Amino acid sequence: MREYKTEVWSVDKKMDKEKEYPQITQASLWIKKNEVVAFPTETVYGLGGNALSDEAIEKIFQAKGRPSDNPLIVHIASTEQLEGIVSSIPERAKKLMDAFWPGPLTLVLPKGEDVAGRVTAGLSTVAVRMPDHPVAMKLIKECGLPLAAPSANVSGRPSPTTAQHVYEDLKGRIPGILDGGATGVGVESTVVDCTAETLVILRPGGVTKEQLEEAAGETSMDPGLLNEKEAPKSPGMKYTHYAPDAPLYLVDGSPAFLQELMDKQKEAGRKIGVLTSEENASFYQADTIIPCGSREKLESVAHHLYDALRAFNESDVDIIYGEVFPKKGVGAAIMNRLEKSAGGRIIKE
């Protein structure tokens, strides 16, 4: 794999949409040459390449070390760009576009002829979204191309919510990073399959099940019990993701029970970290205590989750215990990410 001198181009997300920005022009020139660059969205930072070019998509997979059967999401700046990317748009999908685009919602639709085969991992469907971030939108418009963009991190690590996170993971692997500051939502977009008889959430995210049902009717949650031999229809379905370096165990129980577990590990000479809510942070005794937001405001947990998981990598803990959160609203997305971070390791009281 080619080694790059990775540049960082800073752009204020309060940018003037009518103004030209040389940083974005520079990034778009790389993309037009079938290279890949990182850019901010309202969810996490994405690693973007020309969605119509297999050469560009191969560079995304190489930079991330991503499994080749894991599909990518195509990012667009206008519904006109859907032409050639998708072959048809069901009525329910149109309702969701009207309600949530631009925004943190990805729709799985029948694949068109123009999209690169590597984007869809050989599936007959393609995942598409319109990001709600001025830097992302400006970049896509400047390129004049739809951008395939997974999260801009090494595959398996916590997703990046700052340009610094991207730099830590991908320095030397990509030519540049557009730095638009910290992202907003903090967890990736909700992914909805619009090709089934009813809408199916393949990955919970910033748009909740309740919001989807209000906009377009009955919506079910995919059970996630994929056959390991079956190709995933969406990013985030099959593989362990979002994991810090030390093993993470989720604890479904009281703070006292969680502290007992940590005490036993400390007696065995291990250094312990705890991922907690602001409400419980003062209760615990551990080597590293990192709160990730308030239980009363789950949006704050979603916003800080990946930053908290990455922060453990700056410590020297041997094992991490994490609290669980209610699976209501955005809590479904939080727990989806935590369960994948822990590789399914959950201890119940």
For residue 232, is the peptide bond before it cis, meaning its omega torsion is within 30 degrees of 0?
Answer: no
Q: Confirm or deny that 149 is annotated as ligand binding.
A: yes
**Which residue, among 77, 76, 71, 109, has the nearest Cα to 90 in the 3D structure?**
109
Q: Confirm or deny that 303 is annotated as ligand binding.
A: no
Residues in the chain: 349
Q: Confirm or deny that 75 is annotated as ligand binding.
A: yes
Q: Confirm or deny that 66 is annotated as ligand binding.
A: yes
Rounded Cα distance between 34 and 31, Å, is: 5
Q: Confirm or deny that 151 is annotated as ligand binding.
A: yes
Q: Confirm or deny that 240 is annotated as ligand binding.
A: no
Is the distance from CB of 111 to CB of 120 less than 8 angstroms?
Answer: yes
Q: Confirm or deny that 129 is annotated as ligand binding.
A: yes
**Which residue, among 303, 300, 299, 293, has the nearest Cα to 323 in the 3D structure?**
293
Q: Confirm or deny that 21 is annotated as ligand binding.
A: no
Rounded Cα distance between 320 and 289, Å, is: 10
Residue type for position 278: E
DSSP string, 282-311: GG---SEEEE--BTTBHHHHHHHHHHHHHH
Report the SS3 class of residue 78: coil
**Which residue, among 129, 86, 137, has the nearest Cα to 104 in the 3D structure?**
129
Residues annotated within the binding site for ATP are 66, 70, 125, 151, 159, 203, 242
Residues annotated within the binding site are 43, 66, 70, 75, 125, 129, 149, 151, 159, 189, 203, 242
Residues annotated within the binding site for L-threonine are 43, 75, 129, 149, 189
